[in-house]
Structure 1
Amino acid sequence: MSRIRSVVAATPAINRRTVLAATGAAAVSAGIGYALRPTDSQAATTAGEAHEATVAHSRQVESAPLAPYTKGTTLATVAAPRTSAPYRRLGDGPGWSRVVRSELAAPKTGRAGRRTALAAFVQLTDLHLIDAQHPMRLEYLRATNPHSWRPHEALTVQGAVSLVERINALRGAPVTGSPLHFAMTTGDNTDNNAKSELEWFLKIMSGGRIQPNSGDPRHYEGVQNSGLKLYWQADSAVRDGDKQLGFPHLNGFLAAAIREVRSPGLNLPWYSTVGNHDAMPLGCYGHGDSWLAEYAVGGRKLMSVSVADSKKLQAHISAGDDPKGLAFRDFLKAHSRDMRSVTPDDKRAPYTPADYLKAHLDPAYRGVGPVGHGYSSANLDAGTQYYTFRIADDVIGISLDTTDPGGHYEGSIGTAQLKWLDKQLRDNKDSYAIVFSHHTSKTMDNTSHRDPAHPDERRHGGEEVVALLGSHANVLAWVNGHIHRNDITPHSAPDGRSFWEISTASHVDYPQLARVIEIADNKDGTLSLFTTLVESAAPHRTDFSDLTQTGLAALYRELSYNAPGASKVLGGDANDRNTELVLKKG
């Protein structure tokens, strides 16, 4: 198959281990059911202007090519426990080595000296920025499942800012030395579909000051100063269940947690993909119930229920048999006398898909760009949240919307989007394609709930998407999140076409990672995709007396490691971490 010439081949004066920063991350089309031309929407009309801004602010190519490096990545070191149970302090642990995976193609010797970089980018996923005082939260399910509430949830903003700081400090792509073209967030950027959380996310990514607080501006009002032993009472002398497991008593913790945080914003362009927690309250309930919307901004909050009631609600959520939240509404009404008073706050209101798009298009959150961060005014007009963009001369990116507006936390896509995806791949058959989504192929099994806006449209699951992607020779990878675990899966079709599915761990559960992905042409009939995991910039060691922004980010990681019920296998095994994924060229 013929290909558009590579970025490096088009510029022979540049060493083959570098890529012109000017080629990356310019949005060229948006998904509204067809590929947009620059005149089709306001956002697309300004794409040239956005591209100029991107070029002006992109990281500059080094005067000499960068050699492969490990500093600031998990190749060098990874946070690891340095003390014994019950509460384990973290420190510097050994790095994770790179593993070559050859299930889809045999690696050939000498490729490191031949290869040419095509593109490099960073994936962030499942940030789950949490308004920890929001009335709609389900902390009380901890009575049944200890991981339903996590002791570090008040520190998601500090942790995410530290991740941005780490990405900004990277010298470039660790293997090829290419400048990083862009960052992509693959959904669950927010936790509870709350306007407060959406504002925090956009400021973290684009830069600004964030007050990670809602309700009373003077102090925290939530489960961590409730006196309930079900939750870690960090500021209190209460001997709660977490303190019995070794969690510390930290005077001033809650005041520090809601103190203003400053984010530098990413110093490279960034794009956004929507997840179920972005699209729906609690990540599983469809919009439309006015009582639940009023409860979200109101002055009452449920903080504890019986074990029996916790099990009953958890069963409804797991089964997905309450997509509109009617049983949840009745549950809350039945417990109205058990609720505690909090300060009402309109900023906690659920946001609609249109609100989500408008916020991304707001010039206040442009940062380095591009305008809309992938979304366009055409998306707004059509009511869609999927789009295509140009990564480099011969690489495109396709961002999907795998959330189901009908409800439930698992994913699917409608027929219109599936046909659009097929058309994008056919129309760009001479470009390699990287597909982004929130859900993985195995978690796209929610096909029974119809989209209220398109009740007659069929929903399609992960197997159908895998089959479609496998029918196109230009697909290299499907990059996603949702499962909070590192997992890399090879997909091959009978005719030899193949691609890698790259799922990355979240930044809310330990080990709290992001992933650098590089695409390289080995000049021998194969391509290599390099994946390199990174942690936040916060130090591995914590100091309980350090409640600064950086100190809290370090504490965020350590608390997540020790969270009761937390899985210790989300990092995946060596084959899912730092890898070289080899593919045959189409």
Structure 2
Amino acid sequence: MSGLSRRGFLASVSALAAAWQLSPAALGTALAQPLAPGQALSTLQRTILQGPVAQGSYRTLVTGPGEPYIPRLDVLGRTANPDRARSRRSLLYLGHLSDMHVIDSQSPGRIEPMIVQDHSAWASAFHPQDPMTVHVLAAMVKALSDLRTSPLTGAPMAAAMVTGDSADMHSDLELRWYIDTLDGVPVTPNSGLADVYEGIQSWADATWAYRPEDPAGGDFGDYGFPRMPGLLERAIRGPVESPGLPAPWYAVYGNHDTLLLGTFGISSQFRTMAVGDRKALAWQALAGDVLGGYAATASPIQRLVDALDQRFGLSPGYRTVTPDARRRIFEQREFMAAHFVTPINPGPVGHGFTQANLDSGETWWQADLTPQVRVFGLDTCNQVAGPDGAVPDEQFRWLRTQLEQSRDKLCLVLSHHNSLTLENQALRPGATTVLHGAEEFVDLLLDFPNVVAWLNGHTHLNQILAHSRGKAGFWEITTASCIDFPQQQQVVELVDNRDGTMSIFTTVVDHASPIAASTGTSYTDLAGTSRELAANDWIENPFMRRGSPLDRNTELLLPAPFDLSTISDAALEAQQNAARARVLAR
């Protein structure tokens, strides 16, 4: 097989130059260059490891050696062709982000004091690095932008997948910050009073939290967390100017985009508190006013009682902060609608969600990333209670129908939950919905050999599982998060080995930031500080979340589900030229 003819190449250059308003001569010169592996930094060249103790038990971070790709044969079930590298060609190169947990740490709509009641049970309610989530996400976007060409084949990034938990506490402001950061729209990560940090980390009497001005007198200080004067002011100083993702990106719901803290239904008390001027200092106040309110009715009378309670300060254990209407709690359909407020580039408008989703309320979708690759975005989040999920029967049946109609394409499936967390059967009283768990879902995917990968998140760790039946199967790829150490995401590439097999390469990506915490003011400096703070989480072993070497930089082999030679070199070249032109235009 051969690529585009000279006439086809010139026609392609002319069309792409016109579409992206580029010089035809410059674009033609660029596209005429053969693909070459990208040289941007990833964990192939360098890893980040635990360093020496700085004080108490607090450790810094150091660089470690890079990690090469490790072949995995679990699905293929036989020895791989040793000469496959000589003939391979890229079918699709994409980014994978998950569990970004963008946080407005000053919002009254947070429940940080619950860690006093039980830090282990409520660990996700507060992290020392909460004020720097926008900076971490921007630094991760920069890393993926730097990796816009594959480190393996040089293929341009064609798309990026976002597998949920984007807005940490269901805030409209957090939702806007996450979308804008991925789109490359400047974000000032501050709310309430301009240029003043009003969150609990600036309160001297919140000794249960990490207070960077003076951490002494509490658990964080006792552990050895250092003084970092001015950190909070630097964190709200904006704008943060992310470069934006280099390719169209697609999103699905996570449990934090569905329920409060990804676990509880959202009460009228909490909605009122989120936009109000009273932020909790004591967990007893939260437990009584907010968590206790989940048993209360959401009737107009109850809402009036809640509003009066918040307005006139009838409950103790709070401090006064500046209210901000932008902190309102979004409804489920508004999550989808927010993805339509986005620039055309990188796009797509809706980021997977369509007008049909808005009209019907259905929260799942499908899209063709290329003529050869189709992706299905599912909503596995429980609407009632609990962090884990399941696949509702309506989606289950829809997916089976769509896969039946997609046997001539390579198929990817996206969801927030993974096969270890897909067993939540919570239903509202009287509901008759059937919820499918992991075993049924995996069996469904195994019915279709053209399903080659399932991308997901939720557990905040790097993990890769093989699922096989007979001589076929698929790979389940779970990426880590941007909030917990190691604050890593990944790039994924589908490759045709031209020997009856294909490979999926996964490359773990650290965000583009300094290794050591610093007093710098750039978003990359603050992202580096965030990572070091996250690495000192003493509630669990944060380095466990890196996964084993078999969960990081890998080559995942599997039988080709159909004759991949039906995908011509010319079609792939045209596809890659379009992606290269888009990258050049950005």
TM > 0.5 fold call = yes
- 2:5 and 2:145 mapped to 1: Cα distance? 27
Q: Give the counterpart of 2:119 among 129, 140, 145.
A: 145
Against the structure 1 CA distance between its residues 55 and 581, is the aligned structure 2 distance closer, same or farther, given a 3 Å change threshold?
farther
Asked if 1:256 is matched to 2:234, the reply is yes
Tell me if 1:169 matches 2:146. yes
Letter of the structure 2 residue corresponding to residue 529 of structure 1: I
- Measured in 2, the distance between the counterparts of 1:529 and 1:325 equals 47
1:369 aligns with 2:347: yes
1:110 aligns with 2:83: yes
Q: Secondary structure at the match of 1:204?
A: helix
Q: Which moved more, 1:415-424 or 1:75-84?
A: 75-84
Aligned AA for 1:361? Answer: F
Which consecutive unaligned segments of at least 5 residues does structure 1 have? 1-8, 24-47
**Shift of the alpha carbon at 1:285?**
2.3
1:420 matches 2:398: yes
Query: For the residues of structure 2 that align with 1:532 and 1:325, how far apart are their CA atoms?
Result: 46
Count of matched residue pairs: 531
Match of 2:564 in 1: none
Classify the secondary structure of the residue corresponding to 2:227.
Answer: coil
Deviation at 1:354, TM superposition (A): 1.7
Q: 1:215: Cα distance to partner? A: 1.9
Which residue of 86, 91, 101 corresponds with 1:128? 101
Instruction: Work out which of the residue numbers 429, 448, 452 in structure 2 matches 1:472.
Output: 448
1:83 is aligned to 52
Matched, 1:349 2:332: no
SS of the equivalent of 1:340 reads: strand
Are residue 436 (structure 1) and residue 388 (structure 2) matched?
no
Say what the alpha-carbon RMSD is for the aligned residues. 3.3
Cα shift at 1:132: 0.6
Deviations 1:343-367 (A, max 9, x none): 22221111112211211112x4444
* CA distance in structure 2 between the partners assigned to 1:127 and 1:195 by the alignment: 15
1:187 equivalenced with 2:160 (yes/no): no
Give distance in 2, aligned partners of 1:171 and 1:221. 38
Letter in 2 for 1:207: G
- Preserved CA contact (<8 Å) 1:323 1:408: no
Q: Give the deviation of 1:91 after TM superposition.
A: 2.8
Letter in 2 for 1:497: A
Structure 1 residue aligned with 2:173:
196
1:178 aligns to 2:152 (yes or no): no
Of 451, 454, 457, 2:433 maps to 457
Q: Is 1:401–2:372 an aligned residue pair?
A: no
The residue aligned with 1:38 is none
Aligned to 1:524: 499
TM-score, scaled to structure 2? 0.83
Which residue in 2 is equivalent to 1:490?
A: 466
Question: Aligned partners of 2:143, 2:354: CA distance in 1, in Å?
Answer: 29
1:10–1:463 CA distance, 2 compared to 1 (3 A):
farther
> What is residue 64 of structure 2 aligned with on the other side?
93
Q: Distance in 2 between matches of 1:296 and 1:562?
A: 29
What do residues 464-498 of structure 1 show as CA deviations (whole Å, max 9, x unaligned)? 111110111110010000000111000112x4331
Q: What residue in structure 2 maps to residue 206 of structure 1?
A: 183
SS in 2 for 1:421: helix
Name the larger-Rg structure: 2
Where do residues 246-395 of structure 1 align in structure 2 (5 Å cutoff)?
Answer: 246-260=224-238, 261-287=240-266, 289-305=267-283, 336-362=315-341, 364-395=342-373
Tell me the distance in 2 between the aligned counterparts of 1:69 and 1:473.
31
The separation in 2 between residues aligned to 1:129 and 1:358, in whole angstroms, is 18
Corresponding residue of 2:583: none
**Distance in 1 between residues matched to 2:314 and 2:422, nearest whole Å:** 34
What is the aligned counterpart of 2:92 among 119, 123, 128? 119
**TM-score using structure 1 length:** 0.83
* Contact 1:285–1:323 (CA under 8 A) maintained in structure 2: no
Provide closer, same or farther for how the CA distance between residues 237 and 282 of structure 1 changes in structure 2, counting only shifts above 3 A. Answer: closer
SS of equivalent residue, structure 1 residue 11: coil
Aligned residue type for 2:221: K
DSSP-derived class of the 1:81 partner: strand
Using the alignment, how far apart are the partners of 2:21 and 2:490 within structure 1?
22
Contact 1:53/1:369 (8 A) holds in 2: no
Q: Equivalent pairs: percent with the same residue?
A: 35
Measured in 1, the distance between the counterparts of 2:444 and 2:127 equals 38
Which of 3, 7, 11 in structure 1 is aligned with 2:3?
11
- Supply the distance in 2 between the matched residues of 1:371 and 1:11 (Cα, whole angstroms): 31
Deviation of 1:238 (Å): 4.5
Distance (whole Å) between structure 1 residues aligned to residue 22 and residue 473 of structure 2: 33
Q: Is the 8 A contact 2:382 2:426 kept in 1?
A: no
TM-aligned CA deviation for residue 286 of structure 1: 2.9
Instruction: Tell me, yes or no, if the aligned pair for 1:150 and 1:564 is still in contact at 8 Å.
Output: no
Q: Find the residue that maps to 2:494 and give its secondary structure.
A: strand
Q: Distance in 2 between matches of 1:237 and 1:503?
A: 35
CA distance in 1, matches of 2:320, 2:475: 50
- Give 1:54 deviation, angstroms: 12
- Provide, for residues 413-446 of structure 1, a one-character-per-residue CA deviation record: whole Å limited to 9, x for no partner: 2211111111111111100101111100121111
Tell me whether 261-270 or 380-389 shows the greater mean CA deviation.
261-270
The 3 A distance-change label for structure 1 pair 73 and 335 is farther
Q: What is the letter of the counterpart of residue 428 of structure 1?
A: S
Tell me: CA distance 1:498–1:326, structure 2 relative to 1, closer, same or farther (3 Å): farther
**Residue 562 (structure 1) aligned with residue 536 (structure 2):** yes
Could you tell me whether the CA contact under 8 Å between 1:233 and 1:240 is conserved in 2? Answer: no
